[in-house]
Each structure stands twice: as structure tokens, then as C-alpha cells.
Chain A
Amino acid sequence: MAKTKGRGVLKAVDGVIAITVNINGRDQALKVVSGEYLLDTLRREGYKGVKKGCDNGDCGTCTVLLDGRPVLACMMFAAQAHGRRVLTIEGLGTPDRPHPIQQAFVESGAVQCGFCIPGMVLATKALLDENPDPDEPAARRALDGNLCRCTGYVKQIEAVLLAAKRIKASPGGK
């Protein structure tokens, strides 16, 4: 975790930059080319839950958390993540041990094709970390940057509110 502070100056050698990013709690040394977007780096490194829906910052399917805040991985260079913490959907929970938000999305029927869901789940995580008790408009605002064509957002808003309730009721509130 030491590398998350004091990022220093990055240098490209033959167009290749060596960076260290803390991904899902583990420091990873990565080689990226200058101009490479974080989305492409993450997918190449196996984080396939980060989706590419538009590659233009419009759809939200590539949402990851950067130091806890939602960002669009298609809109930032990989090098900008150097020395910082990235959380992808794989780091939140697994099918064996899902995070309460993931469980709430399943139980609310919020998942149809599911392509937008990793981004939505992470947007929800960012919301609930900041505001553990959101009302409906706050939930709606939190998902506003994540487009979905399948659901009409009805059950996804329900999922956000259900997740909040579950997390609040759980010991430690996390």
C-alpha cells in the first residue's frame, strides 16, 4: 500500500511506462503504453467485468472506483491510476461470497442482460459508502451515469435501496 502515496514522476521508455496500481487490494506492477486507457489495461489484465459499451464516456459500463470514487475507465489513461487504488467488480464480491449490493441486485430482479450491472453495482457502492441511507431520488441520481436498455431502472433503484437496508442492518454496517 506504500505506493498509493508519493506517486512520483512517470517516464516512458520506448513508449512504455511502468506503473504500480493497487487493484482490488493488491499492488500490481504493470507496463502500459503511453496513451493507453485504463479500460484496456484492466481488461487485458483479466478484469473482464469492466465492460466497454461506448468507449466514449457516455454509457458508464466501464465504471470502476478510483480511491473510492466512481470513474469511467475509458476516459482516463492507465498511467493516471499509478499509485492509486482501483476497485473493479471482481474485487467487490464473488459468486461464492457476493457483496450485499450484488446480492440485492440479484434478488430485486435488477439484472437482465447484465452488461451494465458491474458499473451499476460499483456506482451503488460509491453511493452507499458516502450516504448509507439514500432515498429514492438519491439512488436514482447515483445510477444516472449508467445506461441500461433492458430494465427501465425500476428494479435497479429497488436494488440500491434494498442493499442500503441490508448493509445498515448488518453488524458493522458494512
Chain B
Amino acid sequence: MGVADKRVFTVVNHRVDKIDALALACGTAQFTDDVDIRGLLVGRILFSPYAHARIKSIDTRAAKKVPGVLAVLTHEDLPRVRHTTAGQGYPEPSPYDTLVLSEKARYVGDRIAAVAAETAEAAEEALSKIKVDYEVLPAVFDTMAAMKDGAPVIHDEEDSKNIPDVQHNICAKFDFEVKENEWFSEADIVIDQWYKTQWAQHCALEPHIAITYFDGDGRLVIRTSTQVPFHCRRITARVLQLPLKSIRVIKPRIGGGFGSKQEVLLEPVCAALTLATRRPVKLEFSRKETFISSRTRHPFVLRLKTGAKKDGTITDAHMEVYCDNGAYGAHSLTVMMCSGSHTLPMYQAKNSRFIGRSVYTNLPVGGAYRGFGATQGFFAWESQMDMMAEGLGLDPIEFRRKNYIRSGEGSPVFKAMGEGREGIEQKIGSCGMDACIDKGMEAFGWRERKKRNAKQTGVKRRGLGCACLMQGSGIPEVDMAAASIKMNEDGSFNLHMGATDLGTGSDTVLAQIAAEVLGISVKDIIVLSSDTDLTPFDVGAYASSTTFISGNAVKKAALHAREQILKVAARILDEDPEDVDLKDGKAVGKSGRSCSLSEVANTAFYYHDQHQIMGVASHTATSSPPPFAAHFTEVEVDTETGQVEVLSYVSTVDCGTAINPTLAEGQNDGAVLNGLSYALTEEMRFNAAGAMVNSSFRNYKIYSAGDAPPFQTILIPTYEPDGPFGAKSVSEIGINGPQPAIANAIYDAVGVRLFAPPFTPEKVLAALQATKKKRVPTSGR
């Protein structure tokens, strides 16, 4: 077995320390804002106070006169280039409906004007002196109402592109059907249920920030907290009508993104201010602005109508989704489609239909968010699975086990539904779902807990819930990643990649893959990611793609370098290259003689056949192997207050080979906890005028260490044939479980089913009271 297919590892699948962890723990690692730049101006944005208003005029004269103010820009000062802020592969499958500074206010928080000033105070004063004459228009805040005839038309401009139905505010649509039998003709039971998920924000601890300046050669440098440096360069160049080659995007350390930083939001505004002033400018969102004016998780209205036979075979799956995109159509088609493409293949119904609409409303804008539609889709699906199991009198776990997709199986959905376009046919390679279920049930103590809960009395009642999940690994035949690896005289290597570590640990994971191929330690790899001037292209960090797609690119690049090393080493050792192996930082021949990598590099640099040993490779995938997961939880519901407490939560995940088990566990831990607070507390709330009313961590509750319930991640090893050293993705899947698992557990505890998270005490109590009223005749009261 060659090095490319090895199953016994020296670096991969080891708990290597994250390579940037020490610098981060010592505070020396540099985020976007952690450099001092002389003459740096402060940028600020004027946001719309109205949910929907036509701008009749903007008067910036007084603002420009404020001492220390160097630029005041509005849509009139910038090229009118409709675009999408979604940092997706080109051409982006999102409507081109956005201007850098808007000509019309479409939500409270829309970008209207921008200023650059010597101080924050001067910038604030200038904002207060910009006079905007608004004509307030009727607004629409309800997803379903926005599609009706006569609803306010949010994108009535003529120059937007790729909006399927402007008059009904539909910014994306997708329908699909495969049918083997008449609909529901084979079903013994049919369940038809509507669900509604809520608005949520990513809450990366580092707010969005960009710094722009001209370097000594007059090129525009964008130092930015982004998940997508190359998309950022392309989109910024296009909207500001600059040559792409005049822009350099540098991604330093990133303080989390979770999808929000897959948007090109601040960079064009900041760059426009630098172009206007010829000065360095910093533009950052405050926490409040991050909540309102960055991006959100699209709330969904979903309908599932499903049928099943008495034996537990799922026969029909009709899925209808209405994705609220807010004021602009970022990720409208793809998030909506992923709610189906990541869920429908999970249980193999012979009749399968998806009807999807993404809808404009006058609310903040949806974007990519960890889970990416699958979160919303699985809430409905995994709730529905429990309801069907109950209807059929089957055990909910065995019912899932009977239906989930197996290794070697395909699904018509894979071909029909890609991300924003047709997908590709694929068969499942690795699938560890059975082990996920078995090991998860055992670690959780499902049967014991079930028994313990059989007889309960009293105010507080306990219940169990589970959810089974899948996701993808990158976007096949769309995502491309490249890497180069260059050898130095001391036997160290520079690994340059476009892959974007936003705190995920991908720099470490990718270095481990290279180190495994080269028989060295990660300490001998110097990672640079990413800088559009220095590193090869990569679409960026999204769609659970980095380990799988960038990992394969790095593996190929390292193999390419290895081949060259072996040739040089063979000459030194007087052996055939195929008899030489690389291990422990040395090249070792069949004879047992060895030479150091330093000797190899020096030989190549200075003695024979002089050349730079350097590997370069690209990778696109022809499959998107799903990771699988099973989640188990026990909750306690206080029937007097409606309070739900999570007592225990166990999640198992099959991510193939965990390149770094510690980091893989960390990814899942973080995803699950985010899912838990999304299930129980997180919700962006709006007043009647469409303004968000809880735009701070005090009022929008993400879990702290004290709030976190006891939970555990268990990795289930499998080997994915298409992945680098058997790896699949892990970062997103965990967030999809808590909502349905907790909904199922609440039902198990107190017999009420909630269809609209978050499951707050108010909602639980209201549902309990509604059930009581139904059960107890109210006549005579």
C-alpha cells in the first residue's frame, strides 16, 4: 500500500497541538485589528432607520464640513454595480440585487452612506449631519404575506438580475419531483405538518472588520476578517470597477465566522473610502451592527407531508419550504435547496418532492450560517420522524434505522439538487450511522433512562429525544482548492494555501496531511493561508469543504513534492526512488541507509541537477461524502413554569478519519452548543417597524459556560474512500441536531409538540395549557 492510501498514520489521526494555539493563548497572534497603521482613518456607515423607504435626496454638505472628515459617500458617488454580497463561486447563484451603498432603504440597518474621518467622534458627528429625505413605503415582515398579490415590492428597481418573480418578492425558486407511484397510494399513514424556524445570528466573537490601504506600489490592500479571500477580491474588484490585479486581500487570524464572513460586506465600502481619501481606513461593525447589518440564519416556514407503510417503510416525502431572505437575496437559492438536498436523501422515499421559494421581506438579510438550510430542514424532518414512528407504533430509533441511506446507495436527490444548480450522481462511500446510533445509545444510556422515566409523577417530567443527521463535504464540481509546498534547506517546508482557517484549525489539519505524506512533524511546516498575492486559489472556508477538498489538494501537492524528494534522495543513497521512504524527517533507503531532508534540499539547491523542490496541486471533487451523526438528549420540563432543562446530551459523529481528533471534537462541541442555545433561547426579535430589539449579547442569549448543559461528543471512525486519508467533513453537522432532539424530548416528557423554536418557557407553558384545555372539558367554566 502506497503512502497515498495508508491506513496507519504517524501524524494524521493524532492529537497534534493546534499550530497557532500558543500564539493565540499568549495574545501575540494578529487578528485584522492587531496591527498599527499610521494615518489610519475611522470609517463609519449610516444605516437606514426605516424598513422600506425611497430615498428622495441625500444632502452631505454639512457632514463634509465637519472638521476631520475626509470623505462622505453615498450611492451617487459609487459605480452602480448590482451584485450579491454572497461570497460564492463564480457565477454566484444568488440574485444581483445589491449596491454597496443603497439607493433605497429595504430594511432597518440597510447601508445608506459611509464616512471616513480622523477620529471616531468626527465620523459620528458627520453621520448625524447627513440629511436623507426618505419617502416611507409600506413594508412587509411576514414570509408568506410577502409572496401575495399586492404586497409591497421590495426590489422594484430595473437593474437587478436573476430575481425569478419581482412582483411577488421571490428571489429564488426550485422545484423537484421523483415519483414511482401515485402520491400517498402506498402509505398506511400520512402526516402533514407545518414548521417555522427563527431568525438567528452567528455571533462570532470578533465582529466584522476590514482595513484597506494603498501599498508602496499603489496597489489596494484589503486586510480583512473573511472566510473567502479570493471571492472578496473578485467581488470588490467588480463592484468598484478596479482591475482585479490591483487588489491584494490578506486574511490574518480570524475570530470565528460560522458563515457570516462568507459575505463581502465591509470590504467594498472600506475600499471605496480609501479610494476617496487615498488614506488607510478601518471599518468595523459594532456588536449591534453585527447583529442587524451583517447576516443572519434564514428563518424558514416548512411543510412536510410524509407517508409510511405499517412495516416502517417511508413511501412519500413532500417537502415545501419558504425561506425568508430579508431585504437581499444572499445565498437565497443555495440555503433553500440545501434544506432539501441534505435531508431528502437521508430517508429513501420512493416519491419525493421539493418545492422551494426564497422570499424578500423588509428585515435583515439571510446568509450562510453553519448548517446552511440543513439545520432548518432537519428540525422538520427529525420531528416528523418521531411523529410517524408514533403513528405507526414503532420505536423512533428503529424506524430511523430501517430507512436511512446506506453505504453503496445513491439517491435521485443527489443528481437533481446541487447547490444552486443540478447536483451530481453519487453513491454513499462510508456510512457509520449504525455505529453512531449504537455507540450513542450506549454512552447516553438510552434504555436505562427510558426505563427510569417510565413511571413519573410530579411537576417536573423527564423525556428523551433523538435525531439522526447528515450533511455534505464541499460542493462537488464547483469548489476548487489549490496548494503549494516548497522545501527549504533545513528540511522545513512552506505550505501555502488559499484554504481559509477562520479559527477552525484547518491550518493544523492541512499541515498534518502534508506532514503525513512527507514523513515529518507539523513543526517543520510553515503554513501561510491566505493571501491572494502569495497563496494559490481556494474558494474559501464554507460548505464543510476545507478538510475534504483543500485537504485533497494539500495531499496531492505533498505527494508531488515527495516524488521530487525521493528522486534526489535516491541519488544520494544510490538506490531506486521506489525503494526510498520518508520517515522521521529522513529519507531511508532499502539498505537501511538514510539521509536527512536537509541534505536532500541542499543537494537540490547547490549540487546536482539544481532545482527548487516544490509541489503544486489543485483539487475538485466529484462527490460530497456526507458525514453522519446521531444525537440523544434527556430534558426535564417544569410543567408549572414551562422551563426546559437539558440534563444530558450525547452526539456521535462519523467524519471518516478524524485528521485531528481533538479539533474534530472541538468542532462538534461548538456546533452542538450553538444548536442548543438556538433551540432554547436564541432569536432575533423585531418591533412593529421592523427594527431588531435585542441586538446585544445581554438580550440575545448565546450560551455561556454556566448555561451549557453536560454534553459529550463521540467520534465514530470510518474511512471515506474519496477523502484525504479517509476524512470527511465535521464542522456543520452538529448544529442540526439539538432543535429536533429537544423537541422530541419535550414531547416525550409532557406530550406537547412544539413546531416553532426557540422552546421558551412561554411557548412550552402555552402548549401545555392548550393541551389541558383540550383534555378537560371547559363547559361550565
Q: Interface residues, chain A, CB within 8 Å of chain B?
A: 43, 46-56, 58-59, 61, 88-90, 92-95, 98, 102-103, 105-107, 109, 111-118, 121, 140-141, 143-157
Contact = CB atoms under 8 A, between A and B. Distances in A.
B697 A147 contact: yes
Interface of B: 15, 17-18, 20-31, 33-34, 36, 202-207, 253-256, 258, 286-287, 502-505, 662-663, 665-666, 669-670, 672-674, 696-698, 702, 704-706, 708, 711, 713
A47 B704 CA distance: 26
A54 B696 contact: yes
Contact of A113 (B22, B30, B254, B663): B254
A114 B670 contact: no
A115 B205 contact: yes
B666 A151 contact: yes
Nearest to A105: B25
Contacts of A95: 22-23, 26, 28
B705 A144 contact: yes
A115 B708 contact: no
Contact of B666 (A49, A109, A145): A109
Contacts of A118: 25, 27
12 contacts: A51-B206, A56-B698, A94-B28, A109-B665, A111-B18, A111-B25, A112-B663, A113-B255, A113-B504, A115-B204, A143-B704, A151-B669
Contacts of B22: 95, 98, 102-103, 106
Contacts of A106: 17-18, 21-22, 25
B696 A114 contact: no
Given A55-B286, A58-B697, A146-B705, A113 B256 contact: yes
Nearest to B29: A114
A35 to B, nearest CB: 10
Contact of B705 (A111, A121, A143, A150): A143
Nearest to A160: B705
Given A95-B22, A109-B666, A155-B669, A149 B31 contact: no
Contacts of A59: 205, 287, 697
B378 to A, nearest CB: 19
Nearest to A150: B670
A144 B34 CA distance: 26
A94 B206 contact: no
Contacts of B18: 106, 109, 111-112
A103 B662 CA distance: 15
Nearest to B676: A152
B505 A112 contact: yes
B651 to A, nearest CB: 10
A49 B205 contact: no
5 smallest CB-CB distances across A and B, nearest first, come from A49-B27, A113-B503, A114-B24, A115-B255, A152-B669
Contact of A88 (B23, B27, B255, B662): B27
A112 B697 contact: no
A151 B670 CA distance: 4
Contacts of B505: 112
A118 B27 CA distance: 6
Nearest to B34: A48
A49 B34 CA distance: 8
A131 to B, nearest CB: 16
Contacts of B253: 113-114
B456 to A, nearest CB: 27
Contacts of A144: 704-706
Nearest to A44: B36
Contacts of A53: 205-207, 255, 287
A148 B663 contact: no
A16 to B, nearest CB: 14
B662 A155 contact: yes
Nearest to B30: A48
Contact of B504 (A93, A94, A112, A116): A112
Given A55-B286, A117-B25, A156-B705, 17 more contacts: A53-B207, A55-B287, A58-B287, A61-B205, A90-B26, A105-B25, A107-B17, A109-B662, A112-B256, A113-B254, A113-B256, A115-B256, A141-B706, A144-B704, A145-B704, A149-B702, A152-B708
A152 B21 contact: no
B672 to A, nearest CB: 6
Given A59-B697, A114-B253, A147-B702, A93 B666 contact: no
A58 B695 CA distance: 12
A22 B23 CA distance: 24
Nearest to A111: B21
Given A105-B21, A149-B670, A150-B256, A157 B29 contact: no
Contacts of B258: 149
B205 A149 contact: yes
Contacts of A89: 25-27
Most chain B C-beta atoms within 10 Å of own C-beta, residue among A43, A155, A156: A155
A98 B29 CA distance: 14
A43 B203 CA distance: 22
Contacts of B672: 152
A154 B670 CA distance: 9
A141 B707 CA distance: 10
Nearest to A57: B698
A144 B707 CA distance: 8
A41 B392 CA distance: 65
Contacts of B702: 147, 149
Contacts of B33: 43, 48, 52
B461 to A, nearest CB: 25
B413 to A, nearest CB: 31
Nearest to A153: B705
A56 B254 CA distance: 21
B207 A114 contact: no
B704 A147 contact: yes
Nearest to A155: B666
A92 B702 CA distance: 29
| Max chain B Cβ within 10 angstroms of own Cβ: one of A49, A115, A117 | A115
B325 to A, nearest CB: 23
B299 to A, nearest CB: 20
A47 B28 CA distance: 9
Contacts of A150: 256, 503, 666, 670
Q: Which of B21, B663, B706, B711 has the most CB of A within 10 A?
A: B21
B375 to A, nearest CB: 15
Nearest to A92: B26
A152 B503 contact: no
Which has the most chain A C-beta neighbours within 10 Å: B17, B256, B665?
A: B256
A100 to B, nearest CB: 11
Nearest to A140: B705
Given A53-B287, A152-B672, A152-B711, A98 B25 contact: yes
Given A95-B28, A114-B20, A156-B705, A149 B662 contact: no
Q: Which of A61, A90, A147 has the most CB of B within 10 A?
A: A147
B26 A157 contact: no
A61 B205 CA distance: 8
Contacts of B286: 55
A80 to B, nearest CB: 21
Nearest to B256: A113
B704 A49 contact: no
A107 to B, nearest CB: 6
Which of A50, A106, A113, A151 has the most C-beta atoms of chain B within 10 angstroms of its own C-beta? A113
Contacts of A58: 287, 696-698
A156 B672 CA distance: 16
A157 B21 contact: no
A154 B669 contact: yes
A111 B24 contact: yes
A154 B28 CA distance: 24
Contacts of A114: 20-21, 24-25, 29, 253, 255, 503
A79 B66 CA distance: 29
A109 B698 CA distance: 28
Contacts of A56: 287, 696-698
Contacts of B698: 56, 58
A53 B644 CA distance: 29
Nearest to B257: A113
